Amino acid sequence: MQFERKDILDMESLSAEEITFILDTADQLKEISRRPVKKVPTLRGKTVVLFFYEPSTRTRSSFEIASKRLSADSISISSSSSSMVKGETLIDTARNLEAMNPDVIVIRHPSAGAPHMLARLLKTSVINAGDGMHAHPTQALLDLMTVREKKGYIKGLRIAIIGDISHSRVARSDSIGFTKMGADVVLAGPLTMIPKGIESLGVTVAGNSDEAVKDADVIMMLRIQKERQKSFLYPSDREYSKVFGLNAERLKKAKKDVLIMHPGPINRGVEISSEVADGPYSIILDQVTNGVSVRMALLFILSA
């Protein structure tokens, strides 16, 4: 197919056909990362700017590795090391970066909609690496890739997403992505962390975590995003872990071949026990591996 889109901003705007095209491209590019020399000249002469206003380990490093594996030049800018600390606006910063002719700008920003604003203003391709509580499309794409790789298909799978749904851009993007690809998504978490009207995304909300886990093909556990909560939304980590955490006992309710996922970073002993996170059903590190392939695919599709 011809991919006409300039930017990757959210899962809403991608069609099932476009998602399949991205996943197929990522599957093909994955082989490069297994070679003794993990580099191809495909994007030689292209420039990728990584513009991160929030902390990141996985997303930032995988975009950087993806750029290098395709021979693109990448530069990394954080808010504290940019002239934004001197009062320059996001728009002025982005316009100045564009004046240096990059091919792709990857942005993570605490404000929902910041990547969309840049995409409207700039001619350069923009990839959203996470905007506030809104969207994290590249995470959803790597999650879809990982489930499709492990199960062989996505349609009809029961995907349980459990935790701090309200503050999670991953929950939103995964819900939209998995639903669009034909999976049944069920959400669970404390009532204080389930946004009203979330069913409009095509998901169902379970009464408790046992109900969500029951017969699940995939369980995605989420961290409590304390940095985004304005007040305490649950009594204690210990209580949260007991009621909503995934441990070996609760896991018995899922299907025998269940896959355990987590976008990271993990808070061990809170939303997931170490026994489960490091256990035989966990594909958490496969998600990280596939993050490189998905980001290689997006850089290739947008800039080649």
Chain contacts with ligand CP (rule: CB under 6 A): 56-60, 130, 139, 263-265
Q: 240, 244, 191: which is closest to 219 by C-alpha?
A: 244
Question: Of 7 and 174, which CB lies nearer to ligand CP in the complex structure?
Answer: 174
Place of tokens 């606006």: 89
Question: Of 60 and 134, which CB lies nearer to ligand CP in the complex structure?
Answer: 60
Helices (H), 83-201: 90-98, 114-121, 137-151, 169-180
Eight-state DSSP code of residue 256: T
Q: 162, 164, 159, 111: which is closest to 134 by C-alpha?
A: 111
Question: Of 206 and 263, which CB lies nearer to ligand CP in the complex structure?
Answer: 263
Minimum distance from CB of 131 to ligand CP (Å)? 12
Minimum distance from CB of 211 to ligand CP (Å)? 26
Minimum distance from CB of 11 to ligand CP (Å)? 15
d(CA 30, CA 97): 30
- Cα 176 → chain centroid: 12
Question: Of 141 and 206, which CB lies nearer to ligand CP in the complex structure?
Answer: 141
Minimum distance from CB of 261 to ligand CP (Å)? 11
Question: Of 49 and 206, which CB lies nearer to ligand CP in the complex structure?
Answer: 49
Minimum distance from CB of 169 to ligand CP (Å)? 9
β-pair partners for 127: 8, 106
